Amino acid sequence: MKEKVILAYSGGLDTTAIIPWLKETFDYEVICCCIDCGQGNELNGLDERAKLSGASKLYIENIIDEFCDEYIMPCVQAGAVYEHKYLLGTSMARPAIAKKLVEIARKEGASAICHGATGKGNDQIRFELGIKALAPDLKIIAPWRMTDVWTMQSREDEIEYCHKHGIDLPFDASHSYSRDRNLWHISHEGLELEDPANEPNYDHMLVLGVTPEKAPDEGEYVTMTFEQGIPKTLNGKAMKVSEIITELNTLGGKHGIGIIDIVENRVVGMKSRGVYETPGGTILMEAHDQLEELILDRDTMEMKKKLGSQFAQVVYEGKWFTPLREALQAFVESTQKYVTGEVKFKLYKGNIIKAGTTSPYSLYNESLASFTTGDLYDHHDADGFITLFGLPLKVRAMKMLEVEKNKDK
C-alpha cells in the first residue's frame, strides 16, 4: 500500500504540476486539499482538474467562518498591523490552512504534507511552523526548495511537464500578477511592481474595487454595532462576521477604500513590494478603533498599541500556534470586555470619515471635557499636577544651569 501525501492544492499551474511530480518522484498516493478561506470562484472546476492531474481524491474544506471568528477577529481586536500598513490577509490565513491540512492528514493516515510555496517567501515558514506545531511527526515536502529533484524553473517548464504526463489543461504561459485571495483581502505582486520606481497599473490590477479617483462623487453612510469587540450588525441588520466582511468588501470596493502599496520586510530577509486590496478589512479595523478609543483608558490603550504591533509581528512570522500568541491574545481579549456600542462613518473616495460614536461604557465625560467648567473639574487642580509632572524636567534644567555656571568659573 502506497504512502499518502496531502497536497495543499490551489488548482493553479504550480500545484497541478506537483501532483504527477509527487507520484513520479516518491511514488505517493496524492490527496489534494483545497482550503476555502473565501477566495470565491477560484474554486470552480477544481475536482475535475485535480483528478485529471492524477490525484486520488480532492477535499474542498470551507473554513470561512472559522477563519473569520478564530483568526481575523483576534487580529482586529488586537489592532494588528504589520509595518504600519499591512493588515495580515495572507498571514492570518496560513495557520488556519495548516491546521486543516493536518486534520485531513490524520483522517487519511498520511505520512507527509506538501505545499507549493517558494523558497523566497514567507508562506513556506507559516505553513511549516503551523504543521510542526500541530504534527511534528509529519514529513513536509517543499518542492521549490528541492532543486536536485524539482527541475522546473518557469511556467513554460511546468506546462511542458504537465503535457508530458498527459495533463492538457488550459494554462497560460504568459506572466501575470502573483495573487493571493481570501475573504479578507487580495494581494498582488510581480510585473511592474518588481521595480519600486514604477507606479502600479491599478486599472489592470484591481479586483475588489476601484481607485479613489473612480469612486462615486457622493459619500455613503454606514452604521455598525459591536459587542465585546465583535461586530454584530451592519446598517441595522444582524449578521455573522463573515457576512459583515463580505458586505463591507462591496461597500469599501465601491468607494476606493483599503488600497495600499507597500515595500515590506519579509521574514527571510529581503524586501518585497506588493499592492493589497483590503476594503472590508480596512473599514472593520477603523470602525473597531473608532469605538475603542471612546472606551479604553489611556494606559490600557498605550499598552495595547505596543502589544498590537508585537501581535502583528508574531502572526506575520507564522508563530500562530505558540504560547506567545496565546498570551498576547489573552491580554487583548481582556481589553474587549466593554468594547460595546455603535459607530457611524461615511465612506468617500478612499476615506473613512467619522460620523458619530456611542457606547454605554464610554469614558468620555462632557462635563469634564467641555470648555465650560463643570462640577468635576477645578482648574486650580492643574497647578499641583503640572508642578509634579514637570518636576524631572525642572530638576534637570536646574542642574544644567549649575553645570554651565561652573564652566565659566
**113 phi/psi in degrees, rounded to 5:** -125, 135
Pick the catalytic residue: 123, 180, 273, 359?
123
Picking from 75, 44, 17, 36, the residue whose alpha carbon sits closest to that of residue 307 is 75
- The verdict on whether 94 is a catalytic residue reads yes
107 CB contacts (<8 Å, ≥6 apart)? Answer: none
User: What is the pairing mode between strands 186-189 and 112-114?
Assistant: unpaired
Cα 71 from Cα 37, distance rounded (Å): 11
Catalytic residue (choose from 14, 181, 187, 273): 14
Q: Write down the residue that cell numbers 519579509 correspond to.
A: 266
Catalytic member of 47, 56, 65, 178: 178
How many residues can be counted in the chain? Answer: 409
Q: What does 139-202 look like in DSSP terms, one character per residue?
A: EEE-GGG-TTT----SHHHHHHHHHHTT-------S---EEEE-SS-EEEESGGGGSTTSPP-H
Whole-angstrom CA distances from 87 to 80, 82, 148, 309, 314 are 7, 7, 37, 11, 13
Q: What is the rounded distance in angstroms from the CA atom of residue 126 to the CA atom of residue 319? A: 7
Vertex 194, ends 191 and 200: CA angle to 5°? Answer: 65
Q: Do 114 and 17 form a contact (C-beta atoms < 8 A)? A: no
Question: Position of cell 516518491?
Answer: 26
Distance of alpha carbon 255 from alpha carbon 210, whole angstroms? 7
Whether 14 sits among the annotated catalytic residues: the reply is yes
Three cell numbers written together for 6: 496531502
- Mention every residue, 6+ apart, whose C-beta is less than 8 A from residue 372: none
Residue with cell 481607485: 211
Q: Which of 49, 94, 126, 273 is catalytic?
A: 94
Q: Residue 331, CB half-sphere, CA atoms under 13 Å: how many?
A: 18
Contact 146, 172 (CB under 8 A): no
In sequence order, the β-bridge partners of residue 265 are 271
Active centre residues (catalytic): 14, 94, 123, 178
